[in-house]
Amino acid sequence: MMKTLLLLAAALPSIAFAQGLDPVALRDAALNDTLAYEIIEGLTTEVGPRLGGTSAEAQARDWGMAKLKALGFSNVHIEPFLVKGWVRGIETGEIEGTNPRKLAITALGNSGATPAEGLSADIVLFDGLAALKAAPEGSLKGKIAFVTHRMARAQDGSSYGAFGPIRFVGPSIAAKKGAAAIVIRSAGTDYHRNPHTGVTNFEKGVTPIPAAAVSVPDAELIERLAKRGPVRLKLTLTPRANGPSPSGSVVGEIPGSDPSAGIVLIGGHLDSWDLGQGAIDDGAGVAITTAAAKRILDSGKQPRRTIRVVWFGSEEIGGGIDGDAYQKAHTKERHAFAAESDFGADRIWQFNVKLPEAAKDVTARLATALAPLGIAPGKGEVEGGADVEETIKAGASGIDLRQDGTRYFDLHHTPDDTLDKIDPVQLRQNVAAWTAMLAIIANAPENLGQTISKK
Amino acid sequence: MMKTLLLLAAALPSIAFAQGLDPVALRDAALNDTLAYEIIEGLTTEVGPRLGGTSAEAQARDWGMAKLKALGFSNVHIEPFLVKGWVRGIETGEIEGTNPRKLAITALGNSGATPAEGLSADIVLFDGLAALKAAPEGSLKGKIAFVTHRMARAQDGSSYGAFGPIRFVGPSIAAKKGAAAIVIRSAGTDYHRNPHTGVTNFEKGVTPIPAAAVSVPDAELIERLAKRGPVRLKLTLTPRANGPSPSGSVVGEIPGSDPSAGIVLIGGHLDSWDLGQGAIDDGAGVAITTAAAKRILDSGKQPRRTIRVVWFGSEEIGGGIDGDAYQKAHTKERHAFAAESDFGADRIWQFNVKLPEAAKDVTARLATALAPLGIAPGKGEVEGGADVEETIKAGASGIDLRQDGTRYFDLHHTPDDTLDKIDPVQLRQNVAAWTAMLAIIANAPENLGQTISKK
């Protein structure tokens, strides 16, 4: 008798699913989640760093395919695209002198190379990007531009917006002014001898110069020496641009009961910088979103909307090309909602939403479900994350589940981005928040997003 | 008239000095000290790392001579000795595999070298020194011994006593069992990708094998991989033993009024490991003790006992040979008292003394003067520090002004030992404690120490 009932239930999922998803029960169960940590532990241990466009990223895709299949997701597949490949070479630097000082230095992504035997030049010190911009054209000829700053910790990570441009565009500006190379104080907030890498972008037509970041203690040593007299650096950086290189995103789904309701797109990015293990950036993001989706999958209740989990393949070196590739490939599909986790694994403290006016009650339901986790509604615009912003721009609704970024830029893009930096308790709070959010959004009776026009 | 009085005072210092040193006033003024920070800033900026027996250490000696002279110390000179030189070469390591992992690795002092092209071997994992000791003779032939542990933070630094021996003697034990090399989890308590170096000692007759430490995150990755299957490492370490190399300690004095009362010996060590800047280990120690002595010098009151400040030259690679050399050279002098600062620059929380029974009141006076700084009397034995322990063993009284070591082994012997790790507020508390202690000890009417026998 029991057996018959069980078989019936299995044969008639729609009956059970019709009972709906309970955001509160799912949320509370997620506070005991172990899957998210297991995914980060596996990815950092069995694959490790996985720069987009390299064989390590290809290994990570295989790992992700196997994982999503093993977890029971549907339609698991890879969506390939090409990324402009770039790989690190030798990277050493020193302050020349009678007692030369070895620098903790790393090339920025897309950096040019020095001659194999290195490059020696005096520095010209700039305090910030505005000072570099103000340098007369040609004034840096044969010199190394050294740009420092005072980026400080901020819960919302906003200091990266203020000081990050030194890395994003400083090298291109220095190159145009004739600099032989540029060295920046890392766009980071820690005081460890671990420099922060990350992409820099040379303007079209500007030949890349060697561009590197030193750790904050090294930067402050250079600043102190510069107060005493001229400072001469020797740099040896031999990175290599590889041209178009295969990359790809891993996709898995939980099919929804109502195809017309549109897709809920969630994910993080699978690729990472090459210096650490890619634990907080962004093993955490793929793990949190996958673990949350898995809880919906295991609830025994089919969601109204299809939940699509994407492990994006080249956010870092690709500068978001993976999200662009996704959006381009899926332009004909209706996306109701999109959200990314790409800011570590510390606790979520605030959420911002983009929802249609008619779906205002969804915000209230989210606020109610998230409040017990210490998460308050914010008043900001939804940014979405580099991999989903194109989908949101194209009309999808979205949410930012904002994580505490106080220590994020201590670790971001450094050798220190390792498994031990994951706090399992805060990680579980993230999974609980994403689970509650998914339960509400996937089943919302309201109309979410816009119908994407068929271009 | 005023002028005449001033001239008289200058001509008759003994009158002023007879008024004695006021430990309380001197202590409180020292809470505004700037000299100690200035010394550390200068040494770390103008010299930098200064491994004993190298030209960098020679530069540091010159810097120290000039500094002690400029500060007005008497009898400033260098006391030379020889140290067994050892210098670092190339040091790289990786975990072999389809996605090789670069290790944050550093050779231990006195490590042997691998072939120039490196050495590849499987590891045998040991959890602690006892496990390594229990390995059968010959069982490590052609293998890399990998020794891990769980050293944790402790205010009194005692975890170094418990786990440090893995570094001190582990390599010699592994070599005797036939290991091709040894890699240890750093004897440290931080989770940064900065390995901790430090000397290891091969027993007489044992040929040094390559011996290195990996950072804690690297060690934990190796542990996780070892649970999944065999782990193979490739190491390239090319350090070099240099044989007897010139080193020396820098000495300066404040002459006392009563030569029969014996010398008060204080100091820290000038040499440092080569990976960082030698700020907490031990720029802080020479700075704290020198700044305290300078306050006695500037008080205008001559101390009863001669205060001798020594910047010891090779505590690290020499393993305390600098203190032995000092004691040997000064065996005929009566030392009343000796103390060293060599545990960073965080606040002093406790003191232990070794004093003659008849000088018990000195302890009470110290307790009264130190209590307002948050320093309580302890019940332990005086250890003295590696550079003064021989002098204390030979009969001198002494004190341990015990610093908070909670974060000391996060930084000790790593690239992270840089100026920014000095907390100026805690540094000033140290200077205040040392100043009060010196004012009491240098002028104590009691008989301190023993007369050292003339061997």
ipTM at complex level = 0.94
Q: Is B310 helix (H, G, I), strand (E, B) or coil?
A: strand
Sort out which chain B residues have CB atoms less than 8 A from A416's CB and list them: 191-193, 217
Sort out which chain A residues have CB atoms less than 8 A from B224's CB and list them: 41, 45, 419
pLDDT at B454 over 80: no
Sort out which chain B residues have CB atoms less than 8 A from A101's CB and list them: 48-49
Sort out which chain B residues have CB atoms less than 8 A from A50's CB and list them: 99
Sort out which chain B residues have CB atoms less than 8 A from A93's CB and list them: none
* pLDDT (0 to 100) of residue B319: 87
Q: Say whether B418 and A193 touch across the interface (CB within 8 A).
A: yes
Question: What is the percent of chain B where pLDDT is above 90?
Answer: 93
Beta carbons within 8 Å of A29's beta carbon, 6+ residues apart? A295, A435
Testing the interface with A: which of B45, B61, B94, B148 to mutate, by most A Cβ within 10 A?
B45
pLDDT at A1 over 70: no
pLDDT band at B19 (very low <50, low <70, confident <90, very high): low
Q: Tell whether A165 lies on the interface with B, counting CB pairs under 8 A.
A: no
pLDDT at A85 over 90: yes
Task: Give the C-alpha separation, A224 to B6, whole Å.
Answer: 41
Testing the interface with B: which of A43, A99, A270 to mutate, by most B Cβ within 10 A?
A99
Beta carbons within 8 Å of B63's beta carbon, 6+ residues apart? B42, B43, B46, B47
Q: Say whether A48 and B193 touch across the interface (CB within 8 A).
A: no
pLDDT at B7 over 60: no
Testing the interface with A: which of B418, B419, B423 to mutate, by most A Cβ within 10 A?
B418
Residue in chain A closest to B222 (alpha carbons) equals A45
Residue in chain A closest to B195 (alpha carbons) equals A193
Over residues A365-403, the pLDDT tens digits come to: 999 999 999 999 999 999 999 999 999 999 999 999 999
Our CA-based measurement puts residue B45 at a distance from the nearest CA of chain A, in whole angstroms, of: 6
pLDDT at A266 over 90: yes
Displacement of CA B387 from its chain's centroid (Å)? 8
Write b or e for each residue in A195-220: b if 16 or more Cβ atoms lie within 10 A of its Cβ, otherwise e.
Answer: bbbbbbbbeeeeebbbbbbbbbbbbb
- Edge-first strand order for the sheet with A335-340 is A74-87, A240-254, A307-312, A263-269, A335-340, A397-403, A348-354, A376-377
Task: Give the C-alpha separation, B261 to B447, whole Å.
Answer: 7
Average pLDDT over residues B196-209: 98
Q: Tell whether A217 lies on the interface with B, counting CB pairs under 8 A.
A: yes
Q: Say whether B221 and A277 touch across the interface (CB within 8 A).
A: yes
Least CB-CB distance to A192: which of B99, B101, B192?
A: B192
Closest residue by Cα to residue A386 from A330, A449, A324: A324
Over residues B58-70, the pLDDT tens digits come to: 999 999 999 999 9
Sort out which chain A residues have CB atoms less than 8 A from B62's CB and list them: none
Restricting to B residues 31-60, those with a Cβ less than 8 Å away from any Cβ of A are 41, 44-50, 55-56, 59
Question: What is the percent of chain A where pLDDT is above 90?
Answer: 93
* pLDDT (0 to 100) of residue B320: 87
pLDDT band at B450 (very low <50, low <70, confident <90, very high): confident
Query: Based on the number of CB atoms within 10 Å of its own CB, is A292 exposed (0-12), middle (13-18) or buried (19 or more)?
Result: buried
Judge contact between A112 and A268, C-beta under 8 A.
no
pLDDT at B185 over 50: yes
Q: Say whether B416 and A50 touch across the interface (CB within 8 A).
A: no
Residue B119's H or E segment, with its range, is strand B119-127
Greatest CA span in chain B, whole angstroms? 90
Q: Tell whether B277 lies on the interface with A, counting CB pairs under 8 A.
A: yes
Give the β-pairing of B74-87 and B240-254.
antiparallel
Q: How many interchain CB pairs under 8 A, A with B? A: 92
Judge contact between A103 and A218, C-beta under 8 A.
yes
* pLDDT (0 to 100) of residue B126: 98
Count of CB atoms situated within 10 Å of the CB of A222:
21
* pLDDT (0 to 100) of residue A387: 97
Sort out which chain B residues have CB atoms less than 8 A from A419's CB and list them: 217, 220-221, 224
Beta carbons within 8 Å of A22's beta carbon, 6+ residues apart? A439
Task: Give the C-alpha separation, B248 to B79, whole Å.
Answer: 5
Testing the interface with A: which of B416, B417, B422, B423 to mutate, by most A Cβ within 10 A?
B416
Does residue A282 have a cis peptide bond before it, meaning omega lies within 30 degrees of 0?
yes
Question: What is the percent of chain B where pLDDT is above 70?
Answer: 95
What does the block give as tokens for B178? 């036939």
* pLDDT (0 to 100) of residue A320: 87
Matching residue, tokens 């040997």: B328
What does the block give as tokens for A253? 């789904």
Write b or e for each residue in A54-63: b if 16 or more Cβ atoms lie within 10 A of its Cβ, otherwise e.
Answer: bebbbbbbeb
pLDDT at A65 over 60: yes
pLDDT at B16 over 90: no
Least CB-CB distance to A99: which of B47, B194, B228?
A: B47
Least CB-CB distance to B45: which of A98, A192, A225?
A: A225
Judge contact between B140 and B182, C-beta under 8 A.
no
Q: Is A84 helix (H, G, I), strand (E, B) or coil?
A: strand
Residue A223's H or E segment, with its range, is helix A216-228
Q: Say whether A276 and B193 touch across the interface (CB within 8 A).
A: yes
Least CB-CB distance to A104: which of B48, B101, B415?
A: B415
Q: Give the bridge partners for B368, in sequence order.
A: none
Q: Say whether B217 and A46 touch across the interface (CB within 8 A).
A: no
Closest residue by Cα to residue A87 from A357, A274, A338, A367: A274
pLDDT band at A17 (very low <50, low <70, confident <90, very high): very low
Average pLDDT over residues B369-395: 96
Closest residue by Cα to residue A381 from A355, A401, A361, A352: A352
What does the block give as tokens for A203? 């303007």
Give the β-pairing of A232-237 and A211-214.
unpaired
Q: Say whether B220 and A192 touch across the interface (CB within 8 A).
A: no
- Edge-first strand order for the sheet with B181-185 is B101-102, B91-95, B232-237, B119-127, B144-148, B181-185, B211-214, B105-107
Q: Tell whether B360 lies on the interface with A, counting CB pairs under 8 A.
A: no
- Report the predicted TM-score, pTM, of the whole model to 2 decimal places: 0.94
Q: Give the bridge partners for B248, in sequence order.
A: B80
Q: Say whether A44 and B191 touch across the interface (CB within 8 A).
A: no
Q: Give the bridge partners for A106, in sequence order.
A: A213
Our CA-based measurement puts residue A419 at a distance from the nearest CA of chain B, in whole angstroms, of: 8
Task: Give the C-alpha separation, A53 to A82, whole Å.
Answer: 8
Average pLDDT over residues A422-427: 98
* pLDDT (0 to 100) of residue B39: 98
Q: Tell whether A225 lies on the interface with B, counting CB pairs under 8 A.
A: yes
What does the block give as tokens for B111? 């490590």
Closest residue by Cα to residue B195 from B214, B172, B177: B214
Q: Tell whether A272 lies on the interface with B, counting CB pairs under 8 A.
A: no
Our CA-based measurement puts residue B319 at a distance from the nearest CA of chain A, in whole angstroms, of: 23
Task: Give the C-alpha separation, B122 to B145, whole Å.
Answer: 9
